[in-house]
A and B are shown apart, each in its own frame.
Chain A
Amino acid sequence: DQQVKQNSPSLSVQEGRISILNCDYTNSMFDYFLWYKKYPAEGPTFLISISSIKDKNEDGRFTVFLNKSAKHLSLHIVPSQPGDSAVYFCAATPGTYKYIFGTGTRLKVLA
């Protein structure tokens, strides 16, 4: 059973607009979450993280929101740029290790 779900396989957004990528999880023990970006033929690279003691974390154009009661997190990218086109994965852990990843969302930013 998939513990971390990204229900939108793909998303297209116009350059300059906001991209919102969603992630849902089922395990209430998850308390630390990461977002990763992946370009073709490369390994995933870290974007941003959030701990369960927070509901928001920002880093430049990237903001992650966490709603623990809904077991939902989202990644906002504002403004979106063509270079943001990639596959985005969310990941969760119930402690300090053993990260479980979602299925990924392919973002395409249209120029």
Chain B
Amino acid sequence: NAGVTQTPKFRVLKTGQSMTLLCAQDMNHEYMYWYRQDPGMGLRLIHYSVGEGTTAKGEVPDGYNVSRLKKQNFLLGLESAAPSQTSVYFCASQDDGTGELFFGEGSRLTVL
């Protein structure tokens, strides 16, 4: 049972480039989340989804777009990367019954 898988694990971008982070879960969870972790800032919610075809903004959505075309996948896109988006990104899916969040291992993104 893989749980939550994030790809890629590491990426270096130049300012202005675009990229997509993929999150896949095999637990049939409805709710999925994207967070970023920065020193001294904790985990901040970027976007989330309450089911296939739905997305909503979190605390820090600017500069990011998301899509949930399939229930098991939640994509996070950066259309024009900025150095301020250098961070570690975590995807999570939520157990509908217990409310527990299951996290991926993280994706470290550096924007030069």
What is the interface of chain A, defined by CB distance below 8 A to chain B? 6, 9, 32, 34, 36, 41-46, 49, 89, 91, 93, 96-104
Which chain A residues border B41 with CB–CB below 8 Å?
Answer: 103
A36 to B101, CA, bound (A): 9
Cβ–Cβ contact B103 & A98, under 8 A? no
- Check A43/B59 contact, CB under 8 A, given A32-B99, A99-B33, A99-B45: no
Interface residues in B14-46 (C-beta closer than 8 Å to A):
31, 33, 35, 40-45
A97 to B29, CA, bound (A): 12
Query: Could you show 26 A-B contacts with beta carbons less than 8 Å apart?
Result: A34-B99, A34-B100, A34-B101, A41-B106, A42-B105, A43-B90, A43-B106, A44-B90, A44-B103, A45-B103, A46-B101, A49-B98, A49-B100, A89-B42, A91-B43, A91-B101, A93-B99, A97-B31, A97-B48, A97-B50, A97-B94, A98-B58, A99-B94, A100-B59, A101-B45, A104-B43
| Chain B interface, DSSP helix/strand/loop, else mixed | strand
B35 to chain A: closest residue by CB: A101
A98 to B50, CA, bound (A): 9
Number of A-B contacts (CB under 8 A): 61
Cβ–Cβ contact B100 & A46, under 8 A? yes
Interface residues in B47-94 (C-beta closer than 8 Å to A):
48, 50, 56, 58-59, 90, 92, 94
Q: How far is the CB of A4 from chain B (nearest CB, A)?
A: 8
Q: How far is the CB of A66 from chain B (nearest CB, A)?
A: 15
Q: How far is the CB of A33 from chain B (nearest CB, A)?
A: 10
B45 to chain A: closest residue by CB: A100
A2 to B27, CA, bound (A): 31
